[in-house]
Amino acid sequence: MTLKQLENLVTIDQDITNPEFGINYDQRTTEQLLEYGLILIDKPPGPTSHEVVAWTKRILNISKAGHSGTLDPQVSGVLPLGLGEGTKALGVLLLGPKEYMALGRLHSLPSKEKLQQTLDLFKGEIFQKPPQRSAVVRQTRIRTIYELELLEQKERLILLRVLCEAGTYIRKLYYDIGEILSFGGSMIELRRSKVHQFSEDQLVTMHELADAYSTWKESGDGSKLNKIILPIEHTLSEIKSVVIRDSAIDSLCHGAQLAIPGVLQISPNLKQNDLVAIYSQKGEVVALAEALLSESEIKENIKGYAFKTKRIIMKPSTYPKSWRTSSPPKE
């Protein structure tokens, strides 16, 4: 199955891939998914995000895992976890919006018209100062509220759906709404329902994860666990893509920049400075990079650097070394 982000690419050149190296991204074994995987956990209220990561590492018996977008202990919902080298791709999710379902209480009962007028004031760019108990420096910053919808109201209780930029404090948003209404308001309960392209219908619980891992270890059947662990490439579906030759992969894994001769396909409308994910011909993510040239410039030239490597994801020596180093000078 072709990844969404690798469909309808612009072809720069053609090549064949060696089946002896690497593996199709959707044919990884369970062990390989534990190294290049993504789990969408339904975080319960209570534990911290770091505790969920620690529990996941113990359940799966792995040494490396991480999360994208910290949830406060009392907040539930979507918590993406990267496994192994897959942790290096999680930062991309911070570029996209997040959606929350937030239940709050107003300290007095406004008219429906007044409430809606007030909510409308908070759509678009707003100024926010993080609360005193936060993990970041308390300085005023700009955040964007893309959508703010009143889902339900029961007396002074209101349920809001908030689609916002990463780093928006929903508890502070409720406080500010109450201030504008002049009689105050506070948040009671919060659930994150979406992180970028990932939503609630894709979540698994810690119990389901533990059960699937036990089944794999006890019977050797990894089918349940393989459905829970997604290929890490799914994290990168919303940024532009580049497909490269097998011969260019190992040099990138050692930190080299990507030159035009190594490029096979690129996303249409590629612009200079765009963040891109670089893939093998089998769909495996190799690295994250910054475009140094636009689509037209790559088409028009046959040499020169096209992409600057920013984050290496694939382990070196996954593909054979095809690049040469200069010989030491003779004495």
| Token duo for residue 197 | 């392209």
The tokens 């907040």 sit on which residue?
75
Strand 285-291: give its sheet, edge to edge.
10-11, 263-266, 240-244, 275-279, 285-291, 305-312, 258-259
Are the beta carbons of 271 and 293 closer than 8 angstroms? Answer: no
**What does the angle CA 250 – CA 3 – CA 95 come to, to the nearest 5 degrees?**
80
**What does the angle CA 251 – CA 253 – CA 259 come to, to the nearest 5 degrees?**
45
The contacts of residue 128 (CB under 8 Å, 6+ apart) are 140, 141, 142, 143, 168, 169, 172, 173, 176
**What's the half-sphere exposure (Cβ side, CA atoms, 13 Å) at 238?**
14
| Token duo for residue 229 | 């662990």
Given 15, 26, 42, 72, which residue is catalytic?
A: 72
Of 135, 28, 18, residue with least CA distance to 71: 135
**Does the annotation count 72 as an active-site position?**
yes
Of 103, 104, 62, residue with least CA distance to 84: 62
What DSSP character marks residue 70?
-
| Token duo for residue 195 | 């992180």
Q: Rg of the chain's alpha carbons, rounded to an integer?
A: 23
Of 202, 41, 175, 181, residue with least CA distance to 102: 175
Distance, CA of 28 to CA of 65 (rounded, Å): 18
Give the catalytic positions in this structure. 72
